[in-house]
Structure 1
Amino acid sequence: MTEHYKTEALVNALMMTGAGPSAEAIAAAPELTDWRYEVNELTGVIVLTGRSEGHPSIPSTELMSTTRVRYVEPEFAFAITSNRIYRLGPRRPRG
């Protein structure tokens, strides 16, 4: 099993047991709006792209790409990537 799948399995197992991020951690996370799934052309991993609000190093509303997606909450309230948690705002319409 590759490291990616081990990490993904661990995150999913933690989320299923309720040991995921606290409500406070989610509330403090940057928000990603106008987002969608994409495949990073260089690495081949799934990322989220969108506009960030409250990210510590990316200006607000600037289009950005996350690191590898590890978990997306089933109701699309938040996502966990390799580097951080994001609150998920409105999703970009398909098309």
Structure 2
Amino acid sequence: MLRKTWFGVAPVAGLPAAQVVNGPDLSFESQSADLRYLDTYGHGTHMAGIIVGNDTATGTVGLAPKAKLTSVKVGTAAPAASRTPAAAATWCATTSP
């Protein structure tokens, strides 16, 4: 089940929404209002949990639980090679959200 959130990653226990900043959606799904900023593949949510996760119920702690992340969507539900990761890296290097 897909759950749309304001920050581009699915709401899961231990993933503090205040630490994830919404960046641009550079994916091909950005043209669909229903899919824009939605983590349709789950990879972004998984990576965010590994990095900033802090679930007190299970004791799971990410690599940098106090860090702030910027969510930049580049993939879609059907993963494929594209140039969007390079565009995301450029955006991150030149933008301070």
TM class by smaller structure:
under 0.3
* Structure of higher RCO (CA pairs closer than 8 Å, 6+ residues apart): 2
User: When the two structures are superposed, what TM-score results if normalisation uses the length of structure 1?
Assistant: 0.23
User: When the two structures are superposed, what TM-score results if normalisation uses the length of structure 2?
Assistant: 0.23
More strand by share: 1
More helix by share: 2
